[in-house]
Amino acid sequence: MSSSKVMEEERGDAMESDEQLVRNIVKGNHQLFKELIVRYQSKVFAVALKVSNNQKDAEDISQEVFLQLYRSLENFNGESSLATWIYRITMNKAIDFKRKQVKQQENETSELLSTLQEDNLLSPEEALIKTIDKELIHSYLIELPQAYSDVLKLYYFEELTYGEIALKLNVAVKTVESRLYRAKRLIKDKHKGGII
C-alpha cells in the first residue's frame, strides 16, 4: 500500500472518530467535550495567536471559540471536516475580536483627546496633536507597527515618561527613545511632515 493511501486512511479514521465524538456529545455525553478541547486547543490557540499577535488575547479568543462550539455543536453537519469547521469559527472569532479592539482604540483615542485641557501648557508636539482631526491621528497610529504606536500613545496621550513607558512595556529606556524617534520619522516620511 502506498504511503499516500495509508495517510488517507489515517485521515479517514481521524475524521470518523471526530464525527463519532461529536455524535456522542450531541446525544448527551457532555463529558466528552473535554476530549474535543484536548484535540483542538493547540490548533485553535495557534490560529488565534497568529491573528491577534498577543498571548492573552489568543487565550480569550480560544475560550470564545470553545464556548461557541459547545453551543453550536449540534449544527455541525459533517459537510466539511470538524477541523475545517473549527478553523472557520476560530477565524471568525479572531476577526471579530480584532474589530472590537480597533473600535475600542478609536474610542480611547477620542476620549484621550477630549481630556486634553485648553489651559494646559502643551509641548509643541502635543499642541499639534490636539489640533489635528481625531480620525487622522488614529489612521497614523494604525499604519505604524504596534511597537511604535504603543510608545506614541503612552507618550503623547497618557503623558508617561520614557522610564514609565519602559516599565509598562518591559523594555529598556533606550528602546523607548529609539521607537519614539523611529515612529516620528515614519509618520514624517509618509505624510511629508506628519503631525509630530
Q: Where are the domains of the chain?
A: 3-96, 116-191
Q: What is the pLDDT of residue 5?
A: 41
- Comparison of pLDDT for 118 and 185, the residue scoring more: 185
Region 104-111: what's the mean pLDDT? 72
The cell for 102 is: 480597533
Q: What is the CATH number of domain 116-191?
A: 1.10.10.10
What fold, for 3-96? Rna Polymerase Sigma Factor; Chain: A (1.10.1740)
Handedness of CA 181, 129, 140, 157 (dihedral sign): positive
Q: What is the pTM of this model?
A: 0.48
pLDDT > 70? residue 16: no
Q: Which residue has the cell 528602546?
A: 175
pLDDT of residue 113: 64
Contact 23, 36 (CB under 8 A): no
* Same topology between domain 3-96 and domain 116-191: no
Phi, psi of 80 (to 5 degrees): -115, 175
